[in-house]
Amino acid sequence: MTPFAELGLAPELLQALRDVGYDAPSPIQEQAIPPLLAGFDVIGQAQTGSGKTAAFGLPMLQYVDPDEGDVQGLVLTPTRELCIQVTQALRAYGQRKGVDVVAVFGGAPIRSQQSQLRAGGQVVVGTVGRVKDLISRHSLMLHACRFVVLDEADEMLDLGFLEDVERILALTPSSRQTALFSATMPPEIRRLADQYLYDPVTVAVAADTLTVDTVEQFALEVAPRDKTDKLIEVLEAERPDQALMFVRTKIRCDQLYRKLRDRGMNVRALHGDMSQGARDGVMIAFKGGRVPLLVATDVAARGLDISGISHVINFDVPTSPDVYVHRVGRTGRVGRSGRAITFYEPRQRRDIQAIENHAGVKLSPWVKDAHVAPTAPMPKPRRHSKPHAATNGGGPARTVIISGGRAAGLEPSDIIHAITAATALDGEAVRNVRMLERFAFAEVPGSEAERVVSQTAGTQVHGHVLALELARN
């Protein structure tokens, strides 16, 4: 793995990373930081907990001038909780450089935030509604903003904020650099990126790691009338350090909370009908470890980033496979292992199959003391009927180094096409293509790696002759 020092970061940022105990970049940081430092717009597909705040925050902080009082960087977040977490991280990264980071969000006095903005603030992190409000009051001026980040864009879409996001983007300079990060890429987010990002570089975690490769995933069929009793049985068997239990609606959230509380369990509820003060109290208690069990709706748990969650329990089947990805991403953080258990009724077997196909996992039946390989990857279904001379091959993936990167006008699709045309491999066999200025990296099946190198070498792409070699694993 490339150390932070080789990504082009300034010495004061490298020291700040050492201060907070970061040794090496995560995959999304390794892929996103170089193009952002080079001035490219970036689309990053990454979930909460993948290290994306540092991925966009470090390049932004590198180019911010602490001696200039205008707002130079803006980060838009879907929720107050995520806004606070991003602000805390950026303040830690920018402390040695002297960058002032201001958080603006609803549920807090707007006058104190106006006062902070008048006193300075080179970087503003804010929820969409409060940023729009401050702009309308002429308290937040974006004429000098050269770096804009949309964090968890798909959640902004889910919460109905996309129109406001577009209005805010329209008030920033056309010369700005824009980064968009999202766990999923629905059509509306693709359209937003096409309209507001200029020739972006796309970086992504591999599709089969979208549900976290440190999570054991199970499914449990149960009749509706037995769900609460079965949940208590699961909790007694699993003995979670902290469990986040998802339900579909606010009413079901309150109902399940009361049932568990009446059984003597230390549990709290979190949903959108609660006051902001009550929600903050629950979040603080859960984040501090004083409450081991939390029942929550999806919207209330947006941006919830707590490393100690050992279990995610889907008491209600997620409304879509994308929601499943979001939920399960709450556990298995920071190298820890996690367990996810999804309850489903007999009529919901098709929903479980849809989740398995989308996330590329096989959900094993839950029984007491059961263990499975994390994520239990399974082959994804083919979306085409075109025959291929060879398939994905086998063995552990090997990394291939390709001479030629962005400077030669190459894109990830060029690398994939060159390899598949030369070797007749299935396009899905070429994964994790990463573009640097003069080189590119790609992962191919270990059993096919040497053939990929020998047969693709010498291929011409846009007038550039490719040379390949195997990386030392």
Q: Is residue 377 part of a domain?
A: no
Decide if 291 contacts 285 (C-beta within 8 A): yes
40 and 159 housed in the same domain: yes
Decide if 124 contacts 102 (C-beta within 8 A): yes
Tokens (6 digits) for 362: 């096989």
27-37 vs 52-63: helix crossing angle, rounded to 10: 20
Decide if 342 contacts 219 (C-beta within 8 A): yes
What residues pair up with 439 in beta bridges, in sequence order? 403
32 and 171 housed in the same domain: yes
Note the pLDDT of residue 245. Answer: 95
Q: Is residue 434 part of a domain?
A: yes
Q: Which residues lie closer than 8 Å to 383 by C-beta, 6 or more apart?
A: none
Of 381, 384, 335, 345, which Cα lies nearest the Cα of 362? 381
User: What is the residue whose two structure tokens read 């902290």?
Assistant: 242
256 and 171 housed in the same domain: no
Q: Is residue 389 part of a domain?
A: no
Mean pLDDT by runs of 10 across the 473 residues of the chain is: 82 89 82 93 80 92 92 93 86 92 90 91 94 95 95 86 93 94 87 92 65 77 93 93 91 93 93 80 84 86 71 89 78 74 91 79 83 52 34 67 82 80 74 77 86 87 85 64
Count structural domains, the chain. 3
- Which domain covers residue 49, as residue numbers? 4-205
18 and 55 housed in the same domain: yes
Decide if 329 contacts 212 (C-beta within 8 A): yes
Q: Is residue 385 part of a domain?
A: no
What residues pair up with 361 in beta bridges, in sequence order? 377
226 and 187 housed in the same domain: no
Question: What is the phi-psi region of residue 214: left when phi exceeds 0, alpha when psi lies from -120 to 50, beta otherwise?
Answer: alpha
195 and 249 housed in the same domain: no
148 phi/psi in degrees, rounded to 5: -125, 135
What residues pair up with 365 in beta bridges, in sequence order? 219
Question: What is the phi-psi region of residue 122: left when phi exceeds 0, alpha when psi lies from -120 to 50, beta otherwise?
Answer: alpha
CB atoms within 10 A of CB 117: 17
Gap between the Cα atoms of 295 and 286, Å rounded: 11
Of 328, 257, 253, 255, which Cα lies nearest the Cα of 291? 257
CB atoms within 10 A of CB 450: 13
40 and 160 housed in the same domain: yes
Decide if 470 contacts 398 (C-beta within 8 A): yes
9 and 105 housed in the same domain: yes
Decide if 441 contacts 433 (C-beta within 8 A): yes
Side-chain-facing half-sphere of 290: CA atoms under 13 Å: 7
Instruction: Write the CA distances from 292 to 150, 210, 258, 462, integer angstroms.
Output: 32, 25, 15, 57
Q: Is residue 383 part of a domain?
A: no
Domain boundary among 205, 239, 263: 205
Q: Is residue 387 part of a domain?
A: no
317 and 450 housed in the same domain: no
What CATH number corresponds to the domain at position 408?
3.30.70.330
- Encoded amino acid at 405, one letter: G
Residues 368, 320, 184: CA angle, nearest 5 degrees = 105
User: What is the residue whose two structure tokens read 């050492």?
Assistant: 18
Of 213, 289, 296, which Cα lies nearest the Cα of 47? 213
Gap between the Cα atoms of 441 and 435, Å rounded: 7
Gap between the Cα atoms of 415 and 448, Å rounded: 16
**Dihedral sign from CA coordinates of 88, 89, 95, 97:** negative
63 and 123 housed in the same domain: yes
Tokens (6 digits) for 341: 């258990």
68 and 47 housed in the same domain: yes
Of 145, 139, 61, which Cα lies nearest the Cα of 101? 61
Domain boundary among 160, 177, 205: 205
Domain boundary among 178, 205, 232: 205
- Encoded amino acid at 213, one letter: D
Q: Is residue 291 part of a domain?
A: yes
267 and 148 housed in the same domain: no
Gap between the Cα atoms of 375 and 381, Å rounded: 17
What CATH number corresponds to the domain at position 319?
3.40.50.300
Q: Does the predicted TM-score (pTM) go above 0.85? A: no
Q: Is residue 404 part of a domain?
A: yes
